[in-house]
Amino acid sequence: MKWNKYTLTTTTEAEDLISSMMMDAGIEGIEIEDKIPLSEKDKSQMFVDILPEGPADDGVAKISFYLEPDQDNVEMLAAVQRGLDEIRSWGVDVGAATIEASQTEDKDWINNWKQYFHQFYVDDILIKPSWEELKDEDKDKLLIQINPGTAFGTGMHETTQLCIRQIRKYLKDGDRILDVGTGSGILSIAALKLGAGYALGTDLDPCAVTAVKENMEVNGLKEDQYDVILGNIIDDPKVQSEAGEEAYDIVTANILAEVLLPLTPVVIHQLKKGGIYITSGIIDDKETVVVEAVKAAGLEVLEVTHQGEWVSVTARKN
């Protein structure tokens, strides 16, 4: 299905007011592109493995919205223009306030990213997208199939590979693993494929629940081998209780250093005595602060490994 896409160029000062105005006008979903840097609070709530540095804020924002071709687009655009005029009358700088029209299709949003994800190896482990055929020469490899969707990682990033190698090194048959910020579930799947008995993932994104279930199924893993809890284990007692105290042999957290700092002193309570804590998502200039946080939580640092500019810290709860 084709959609009409409209992109409004405005200012970061006006983007919140314009977004609210558009929703009041009946536009159900919008996309905002700007260069406003994330606050420390924003970073502390992001359970992701990488957060690249963006360009400097130039004060410009682009707000896109989509309308079906059979909608009364003329009237909707007129309503948006009236809203812009009203916001401008309040003395707010709305910038150029130009609207550019284009067309797109559902499939463009859903499938275009797939062209960038192809099979790759982490040592002798083959990770491939679920839609690619398995080659004959790879049939003896330990296989992980992933359909990450548009919201989660594929495992290609150095931080995920660092975690997989550490899981493989420290995992014992039958171990229970807790994967904080599970995303596509790739670390849980790797652990189960390598012999773990049970994996629990936590995530803030409701899409993770579906993504993990689908990826577990495509890897032939059974529902009694894993579970996913939606919520923030850092500050949600319900999530902490559901996860269980001293219940895991390994805890993994492939997320930002800014999240690892408040997470570490909390999640050690989920870790068994003698259990292993594997972290990554750490850019090299944050290595020291994460190592110190791990030590401050009472853990023994076993090793610090590197790949590119990324760092993994592995520790033990004695």
Q: Which tens digits make up the pLDDT trace of 140-165?
A: 889 999 886 644 556 667 888 999 99
43: pLDDT strictly greater than 60: no
**Residue 150: what pLDDT?**
46
- For 181-218, the pLDDT digits (tens) are 998 899 999 999 999 999 999 998 888 888 899 999 99
**H or E element in which residue 162 lies:** helix 158-170
Largest CA distance in the chain: 68
Q: CA-CA distance, 108 to 104, in Å (whole number)?
A: 7
Q: CA-CA distance, 138 to 214, in Å (whole number)?
A: 23
At 197, the amino acid letter reads G
Nearest Cα to Cα of residue 70 among 4, 22, 8: 4
**CB of 243 closer than 8 Å to CB of 233:** yes
The pTM score is: 0.69
Q: CA-CA distance, 215 to 221, in Å (whole number)?
A: 9
64: pLDDT strictly greater than 50: yes
Q: CA torsion sign, 118 to 121 to 126 to 127?
A: negative
- For 264-301, the pLDDT digits (tens) are 999 999 999 999 999 998 888 899 999 999 999 999 99
Q: Could you tell me which residues are annotated as the binding site for S-adenosyl-L-methionine?
A: 160, 181, 203, 254
**CB of 282 closer than 8 Å to CB of 257:** yes
Q: Could you tell me which residues are annotated as the binding site?
A: 160, 181, 203, 254
Burial track 31-67 (b if 16+ CB lie within 10 A, e otherwise): eeebeeeeeeeeebebbbbbbeeeeeeeeebebbbbb
Set out the domains of the chain in order of their start, with CATH numbers. Answer: 2-110 (3.30.70.120), 155-316 (3.40.50.150)
Q: What residues contact 232, with CB distance under 8 A and at least 6 apart?
A: 45, 202, 204, 239
Give the burial class of 315: count Cβ atoms within 10 A of its Cβ; 0-12 exposed, 13-18 middle, 19 or more buried: buried
51: pLDDT strictly greater than 80: no
11, two tokens: 């200012």
Confidence of residue 36 (pLDDT cuts 50, 70, 90): low
